[in-house]
């Protein structure tokens, strides 16, 4: 009787206007199509509930991914000019050579069109007897600002957000400053800058939602100033790709990957390398992270991931303490191919 009732329900649902019944196989296909459409409708509704703007800060205090800025700014409530400030903390464990980095940030937004911020980057020395002295300094100050020229979807659903911004790092003594002290006896403090543009687009539709970010910057900083001063002011690409996925408790998860091309050479670093004057190999910085944040009226975001910064960047000659051979050639290995990073942002 149950089978007969189901058959009658199928016929009533799909063939109410038909004079001749069709095969059950055809009916099952239609039911599966209906259920599939309903399932995708539910998924699309989840995607649509995800926020259209990120509320988390980068390592240097801008709104964006773990290391790369996006075309979003700190959220400002409707009919308000000033936002509630967003504060952030980022930790990077590179203690083998470079040392641990603790960044404390605060950023203020303006009418969903601009933001400015400050980050204090604190540093602890690494564990390498040969190379950690290049980073034996307390840290540096980082100032940033950004203006949104075109808001996402401003001229239609395919319009990406477009923004321009800057970063200024002061008191940077890492690598370049340390080698200058060894060469001349004077510890030099450098100031380096980025000027950048970024385009960001979030696509919240099945089968796969995407958050795509691509930008270009002119910079004279190596590895965000942590690697020292670049030998010239040059253009570099950066970007990222994330997949926003809904989670329970009004949160969402974003597995993401980001990259930043690095300047090819660092001031004074050639004096350390062997053969003398040879260039360093500074690879593209990569990060592989997972972010958890709130869907509606987001106030917090949590990041955890692994960064690929640099491994062996060249070779150097070190004294052996014996007549033969007087020097040994050893690799300059920063041991930062897999560094752990954690970030937390909170908007008041």
How much is the average pLDDT of 103-119? 97
Q: Domains in the chain, start-ordered, CATH in brackets?
A: 2-40 (no CATH), 55-347 (2.40.160.40)
* Tens digits of residue pLDDT in 253-285: 999 999 999 999 999 999 999 998 788 999 999
pLDDT of residue 171: 97
Which of 19-33, 78-92, 168-182 shows the lowest per-residue confidence on average (mean pLDDT)? Answer: 19-33
Q: Tell me the helices (H) and strands (E) count for the chain, helix number first.
A: 3, 15
How much is the average pLDDT of 150-177? 96
Contact in structure between 219 and 233 (CB atoms under 8 Å)? yes
How much is the average pLDDT of 194-216? 93
pLDDT of residue 342: 97
* Tens digits of residue pLDDT in 228-240: 999 999 999 999 9
pLDDT of residue 55: 60
pLDDT of residue 182: 94
Asked if pLDDT for residue 330 goes beyond 60, the answer is: yes
Average pLDDT, the chain: 86
How much is the average pLDDT of 296-321? 91
Which residues contact residue 290 at a Cβ distance below 8 angstroms, ignoring those fewer than 6 apart? Answer: 253, 254, 255, 256, 303, 304, 305
Q: How far apart are CA 262 and CA 283, in angstroms?
A: 7
Q: How far apart are CA 128 and CA 149, in angstroms?
A: 45
Asked if pLDDT for residue 22 goes beyond 70, the answer is: no
How much is the average pLDDT of 27-39? 44
Q: What percent of the chain has pLDDT over 90?
A: 72
């Amino acid at each position: 009787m149950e089978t007969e009732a189901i058959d009658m329900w199928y016929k009533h649902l799909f063939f109410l206007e038909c004079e001749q019944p069709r095969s059950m196989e055809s009916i099952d296909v239609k039911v599966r199509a209906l259920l599939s459409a309903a399932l995708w409708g539910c998924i699309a509704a989840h995607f649509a509930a995800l926020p259209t703007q990120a509320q988390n800060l980068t390592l240097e205090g801008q709104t964006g991914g773990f290391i790369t800025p996006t075309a979003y700014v700190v959220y400002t409530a409707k009919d308000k000019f000033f936002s509630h400030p967003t504060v952030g903390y980022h930790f990077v464990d590179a203690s083998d050579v470079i040392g641990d980095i603790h960044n404390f940030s605060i950023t203020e937004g303006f009418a969903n069109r601009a933001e400015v911020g400050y980050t204090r980057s604190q540093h602890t020395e690494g564990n390498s007897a040969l190379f950690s002295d290049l980073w034996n300094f307390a840290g540096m100050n980082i100032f940033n600002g950004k203006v949104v020229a075109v808001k996402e979807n401003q001229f239609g659903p395919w319009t990406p957000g477009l923004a321009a911004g800057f970063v200024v790092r002061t008191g940077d003594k890492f690598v370049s400053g340390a080698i200058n002290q060894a060469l001349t006896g004077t510890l030099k403090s450098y100031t380096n800058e980025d000027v950048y543009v970024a385009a960001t687009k979030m696509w919240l539709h099945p089968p796969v939602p995407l958050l795509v970010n691509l930008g270009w910057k002119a910079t004279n900083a190596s590895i965000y100033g942590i690697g020292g001063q670049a030998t010239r002011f040059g253009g570099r690409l950066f970007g990222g790709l994330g997949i926003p996925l809904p989670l329970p408790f009004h949160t969402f998860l974003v597995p993401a990957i980001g990259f930043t091309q690095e300047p090819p050479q660092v001031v004074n670093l050639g004096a350390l390398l062997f053969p003398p004057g040879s260039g360093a190999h500074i690879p593209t910085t990569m990060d592989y992270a997972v972010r958890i944040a709130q869907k509606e009226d987001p106030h917090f975001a949590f990041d955890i991931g692994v960064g690929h910064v640099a491994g062996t960047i060249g070779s150097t000659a070190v004294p052996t303490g014996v007549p033969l051979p007087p020097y040994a050639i050893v690799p300059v290995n920063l041991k930062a191919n897999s560094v752990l990073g954690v970030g937390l942002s909170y908007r008041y």
